[in-house]
Amino acid sequence: MGLAARVGALNGWRQLLLAFVAGAVLGLVQAPWSFPLAFFIALPVIFWLHDGAATKRRAAAVGWFAGLGYFGLTLAWIVEPFLIDIVRHGWMAPFALLFMAAGLAAFWAVAFGVAPRGKTFMLVVLWSLVELARSYVFTGFPWVLLGQGWLETPLIQVVYYIGVHGLGLLTLFAIALLSQMRMKQVFAGAAIIVSLWGFGAYRLSQPVSPRADGFVVRIVQPNVDQKLKWLPEFQAEFFQRHLDLSTREGDFDTVIWPEASVPFLLEERPDLLRVMASTVGAEIIFGVRRRDEGGNWYNALVLLHNGGTSTAVYDKHHLVPFGEYIPFQEVLKLTGISALTGTGWTAGDIPPIISVGQGPSFLPLICYEAIFPSLASKTNVPVDWIVQITNDAWFGKVSGPYQHLAQARIRSIEQGKPLARSANTGISALIDPYGRIIDSIPLGQMGVIDVALPAQLPRSFYGRTLDWPIAGILLLLTILQLLPVKRRRS
């Protein structure tokens, strides 16, 4: 009996335990481990387990346990925000991880339960479809998508045309062929991987052109401890730290500070805005809290002109559920979880295009917004680069900051644009249009980098179409797969 048959013959707790372990191994493809060989180890096992599932309910259980292992490992950083104030919120940490992993694994369970036993290709289609669904349902959470596991290889370059979901579909399809362990299927699966690798290697061999105007960006990483950040006795010190880093010797055209980098409300301290402008002597992009006349709070990005006036303000549009606002707040009041955010933040409008003086225009993204390809794409307005400000101190130091950076790099590839990223505790970086890091400041270090902004690439196919083509293909393939089943049943 071959390996595939032995795995498929498992039942009971052994079957579900192996599904959980295989899911966790599959998680190793994501940052910070970035071990894409895990695709070839874990995915065949998961396919074989599905083939051996005796009932649809058992198949769904296989998918759920695989998802629980995958998301349990990759989203372990989700406990970190609850440990900032461990006395008040620490008890919630294990429940947050369990509920998040279990909820996302339920998407996989649906695909595994619906796909008929032995129909691996249909499982591939449905699995890709539910991964697409979890990127949009309930405001979406496109974190650690399967295609993102290729980031440190040339294969990731294909997202310039088909996005992460397209790459995820090709990955599942190629490894499903390899898992058949028959000569023709193995050759076809290997051909897909090799072709994608060759295409990506060719793209990476192309030179990146510098901008003709030689525009230089200074990125500041103050490395402010989240536990001390808002204590009144430290706010003046941390504000001065930003100024000191911004005035270090060097030539630059604009300075970027991270999310919520100033300790005052935007509308209340115009004198400190003038201090910032006169001290730095250049335009500053920074994060700040603001409050409007109606008492609504906003998480904002501001471009401060060197005259000391705010020339552009962007209010964060896509807020973090249960972090910046509480969905279904009336229903959840009895749980006490709303105490994490109080009244919550207010969502702003879709990100505008902002111009830095006479320099290049940029698209602003605040923290979590960089995980959504749709927010990084403007279909009708030209933009030269993307700016992301964030405070990844909330994500700890193990996996969260690395995964967040990975998604920013993928946005650069998808859009064909450089991306400047200023993170409070790291990882701050300037990323080229191929997703490569030109320069960066390591996690947990204070510092600055001055980097010349590279030119953008031609508008990408994915940047124009987003996920509509792959969604249409997946729906069509699902219908074509289901039709024969219905005919046989009738």
Provide the b/e sequence for 421-432 (b: ≥16 CB within 10 Å).
Answer: bbbbbbbbbbbb
- The strand order across the sheet containing 283-291 reads 310-315, 297-304, 283-291, 254-256, 216-221, 447-452
Q: Which residues pair with 362 in a beta bridge?
A: 354, 385
Residue with tokens 């204590």: 231
Report the sign of the C-alpha dihedral through residues 191, 4, 176, 485, in that order.
positive
CB 405 within 8 Å of CB 427: yes
Structure tokens at 231: 């204590």
Residue among 80, 131, 229, 259 flagged as catalytic: 259
Residue with tokens 């335990």: 17
227 belongs to the catalytic site:
no
Q: What angle do CA 320, 354, 301 make, to 5 degrees?
A: 35
CB 416 within 8 Å of CB 458: yes
3-state class (DSSP) for residue 366: strand
Distance separating alpha carbons of residues 22 and 45, to the nearest angstrom = 7
Residue among 316, 324, 369, 414 flagged as catalytic: 316
316 belongs to the catalytic site:
yes
Residue among 324, 367, 414, 417 flagged as catalytic: 367
Provide the b/e sequence for 196-215 (b: ≥16 CB within 10 Å).
Answer: bbebbeebeeeeeeebeeeb
How crowded is residue 299: how many other Cβ atoms within 10 Å of its Cβ? 26
CA distances (Å), origin 162, targets 73, 126, 190, 417: 27, 18, 20, 16
417 belongs to the catalytic site:
no
Distance separating alpha carbons of residues 126 and 162, to the nearest angstrom = 18
Catalytic center residues: 259, 316, 367
